[in-house]
C-alpha cells in the first residue's frame, strides 16, 4: 500500500489529524494506496516552512536558482519510466502518452524557467528634462499557493511551481487528490537536486479543506489555480477580500472550425487527436466541431472511420489509444451528458457506451463518442463535458461559423482549418479566445502567453507573463540633478 504523504520542510510527513483518502487506480477501480487528507493545520505548517525558507531563497542568486531547477529537470528525465508508470496508474492515461508527453513536459517546464529567469528583464525610463531616472524592481512575492488539477497532474503542477520558484518565491502546492502520486514522488527529486528545505511544500487532500485553507490563508500572497470554472469563481470570491493576486486557468468549450479548403488529411488526423487525447480530459480539446456544409458529409464518414480504429484498453499497454477516465464520479458525469442527447434533439453517430476491458473490468472506460447536434444552444454545446465526447454541426458562411464559435460562456482556445490567409487572420482577430491555432492543435511554445477569456479564466501563464505574476513591481525614481 502506497502512502502519499505531505512534503513539508524537505521531508515527508503524515497529515496532522492522521486522516486519509483512498487512492484508486481508474484502470481497475481498485484501491492502490492512501492519500493524506490534510487540514488547515498542515497548511499552516507548510506556510511556516515556506516563510522561513523565503528569507534565504529570495536572496539566492538567479544563477543558483537556475542551477537547482535544471537539476530537477535532469532528475525528472532520469526517472521518466517510473514517473510515467505512476502517472498512468494514478490517472488512467495511456502509458505511451505519459512517457512521450506528460513527463517530458514536466522536465521541460523546469528547464525552461531555469533559463527564463536568467533572461527576465525590467524597465528603466530616463527623464532628461527633469534629470531623473525611473527603474522597476521585480521582487518575489513571498509564499504563494499553487493548486493544480487531475487531468495532467505533473505537467500542470510543474507549470506553476517552476516559475514561482524561479522568481524567488516559496510555494505551498496542492495537487489534485484524485491523482497525486507523481507530485508525491517529485518531492524526493527536489531534495536530491538540492532545493533547500521549505522552499517547496506539497499538501495533499480535498479542495474544501486543504485547498480552502491555502486560499484563505492571510499571508499566502498569491494563488495560481487550474481547474473548473465553478471552483475558480469560489476561489475568486474567497480571495478578493484578502487582496491576493490571482491567476485562474479554468474550463473550455473549444471550437474546431473546418473549412472546405483545408489540408484534409492533416486536419482529419489532428482532429482525432484534438478530440480524444487523454480521453478528452484536456481543457484545450476541440469539443465542438463545426464543418463547412460542402465538406460535412465526407468529414462525418471519414472521422467516424478513424475513430473506430482507436483502441480503448488498459493504460499499461503501449497499443492503447484511449485509457480510463479518471474516476467513477467523472465517468458517471460524462455518461449523464450522453443520456441527454434525445431531449437535446441530438443524435449519437458513434459510441456513447461504457466499455468493459479485459483485465480492468471494474475500470472507468467508455467509447469515444460523436454526437450530431442541431443547435449550438443545446447543453451538449454549452457546458464543458471534459470527456471523450465531441459534437459536430455544419455551417454555411464565415459569419455563421464565427458566431457559432463565440456563442458560449467560455473562451480558452480555438482551431481553424483553412488555407485562406485573409480568413485565418480575420478569425484570429475576432475569435473570443486566449489561444488560436491555425492548421494545427496543441502546438505550444512556452514563451507565449497561455490563458483564456470570459469564463475560461483570468490572467496568463507562460513565458515572462507568469514571471510577472509571481513578482511584485516596484518603481524607483532617482533624481540626479
Q: Which residues are the active-site residues?
A: 249, 283
Instruction: Kindly list the distances between the CA atom of residue 26 and the CA atoms of 96, 275, 279, 282, 377, in Å, as whole numbers in the listed order.
Output: 17, 21, 12, 17, 33
Cell of 56: 534565504
Of the candidates 459, 405, 409, 447, the one whose C-alpha atom is nearest the C-alpha of residue 428 is: 405
- For residue 271, give the 3-state DSSP assignment: helix
Pairing label, strands 453-454, 410-411: antiparallel
Contact 53, 143 (CB under 8 A): no
What residues contact residue 180 under an 8 Å CB cut-off, 6+ apart?
4, 23, 35, 90, 153, 204
Of the candidates 4, 27, 5, 36, the one whose C-alpha atom is nearest the C-alpha of residue 88 is: 27
Q: What is the Cα–Cα distance from 272 to 303, expressed in whole angstroms? A: 7
Q: What is the Cα–Cα distance from 148 to 102, expressed in whole angstroms? A: 14
Q: What is the DSSP letter of 463?
A: H
Buried b or exposed e, range 150-186, using 16+ CB within 10 angstroms: bbbbbbbbbbbbbbbbbbbbbbbbbbbbbbbbbbbbb
State CA 329 to chain mean position distance.
20
- HSE-CB for 57 with a 13 A CA cutoff: 29
Burial class (CB in 10 A: 0-12, 13-18, 19+), 194: exposed
Neighbours of 64 (CB within 10 A): 12
Q: What is the Cα–Cα distance from 392 to 396, expressed in whole angstroms? A: 14
Q: What is the Cα–Cα distance from 128 to 133, expressed in whole angstroms? A: 8
Cell of 65: 536558482
Amino acid at each position: 500500500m502506497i502512502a502519499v504523504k505531505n512534503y513539508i520542510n524537505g521531508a515527508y510527513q503524515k497529515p496532522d489529524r492522521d486522516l486519509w483518502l483512498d487512492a484508486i487506480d481508474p484502470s481497475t477501480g481498485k484501491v492502490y494506496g492512501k492519500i493524506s487528507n490534510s487540514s488547515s493545520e498542515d497548511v499552516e505548517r507548510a506556510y511556516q516552512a515556506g516563510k522561513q525558507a523565503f528569507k534565504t531563497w529570495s536572496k539566492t542568486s538567479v544563477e543558483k536558482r537556475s542551477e537547482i531547477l535544471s537539476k530537477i529537470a535532469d532528475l525528472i528525465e532520469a526517472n521518466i519510466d517510473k514517473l510515467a508508470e505512476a502517472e498512468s496508474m494514478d490517472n488512467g492515461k495511456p502509458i505511451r502518452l505519459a512517457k512521450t508527453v506528460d513527463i517530458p513536459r514536466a522536465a521541460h517546464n523546469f528547464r525552461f524557467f531555469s533559463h527564463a529567469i536568467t533572461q527576465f528583464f525590467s524597465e528603466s525610463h530616463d527623464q532628461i528634462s527633469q534629470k531623473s531616472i525611473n527603474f522597476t524592481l521585480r521582487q518575489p512575492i513571498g509564499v504563494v499557493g499553487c493548486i493544480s488539477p487531475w487531468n495532467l497532474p505533473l505537467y500542470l503542477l510543474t507549470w506553476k511551481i517552476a516559475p514561482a520558484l524561479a522568481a524567488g518565491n516559496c510555494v505551498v502546492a496542492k495537487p489534485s487528490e484524485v491523482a497525486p502520486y507523481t507530485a508525491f514522488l517529485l518531492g524526493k527529486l527536489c531534495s536530491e537536486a538540492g532545493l533547500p528545505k521549505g522552499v517547496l511544500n506539497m499538501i495533499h487532500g480535498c479542495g474544501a479543506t486543504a485547498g480552502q485553507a491555502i486560499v484563505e490563508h492571510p499571508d499566502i500572497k498569491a494563488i495560481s489555480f487550474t481547474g473548473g470554472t465553478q471552483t475558480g469563481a469560489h476561489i475568486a470570491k474567497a480571495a478578493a477580500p484578502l487582496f491576493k493576486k490571482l491567476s485562474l486557468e479554468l474550463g473550455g468549450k473549444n471550437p474546431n472550425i473546418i473549412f472546405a479548403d483545408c489540408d484534409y488529411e492533416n486536419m482529419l488526423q489532428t482532429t482525432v487527436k484534438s478530440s480524444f487525447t487523454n480521453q478528452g480530459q484536456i481543457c484545450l480539446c476541440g469539443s465542438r466541431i463545426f464543418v463547412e456544409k460542402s465538406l460535412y458529409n465526407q468529414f462525418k464518414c471519414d472521422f467516424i472511420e478513424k475513430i473506430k480504429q482507436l483502441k480503448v484498453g488498459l493504460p499499461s499497454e503501449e497499443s492503447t489509444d484511449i485509457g480510463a477516465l479518471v474516476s467513477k464520479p467523472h465517468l458517471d458525469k460524462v455518461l449523464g451528458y450522453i443520456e441527454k442527447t434525445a431531449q437535446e434533439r441530438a443524435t449519437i453517430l458513434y459510441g456513447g457506451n461504457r466499455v468493459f476491458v479485459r483485465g480492468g473490468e471494474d475500470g472507468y472506460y467508455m467509447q469515444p463518442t460523436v454526437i450530431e447536434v442541431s443547435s449550438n444552444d443545446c447543453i451538449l454545446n454549452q457546458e464543458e463535458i471534459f470527456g471523450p465526447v465531441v459534437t459536430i454541426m455544419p455551417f454555411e458562411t464565415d459569419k455563421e461559423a464565427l458566431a457559432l464559435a463565440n456563442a458560449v460562456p467560455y473562451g480558452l482556445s480555438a482551431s481553424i482549418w483553412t488555407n485562406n490567409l485573409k480568413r485565418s487572420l480575420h478569425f484570429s482577430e475576432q475569435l473570443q479566445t486566449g489561444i488560436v491555432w491555425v492548421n494545427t492543435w496543441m502546438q505550444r511554445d512556452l514563451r507565449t502567453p497561455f490563458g483564456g477569456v470570459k469564463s475560461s479564466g483570468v490572467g496568463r501563464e507562460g513565458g515572462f507573463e507568469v514571471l510577472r505574476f509571481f513578482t511584485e513591481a516596484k518603481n524607483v525614481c532617482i533624481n540626479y540633478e
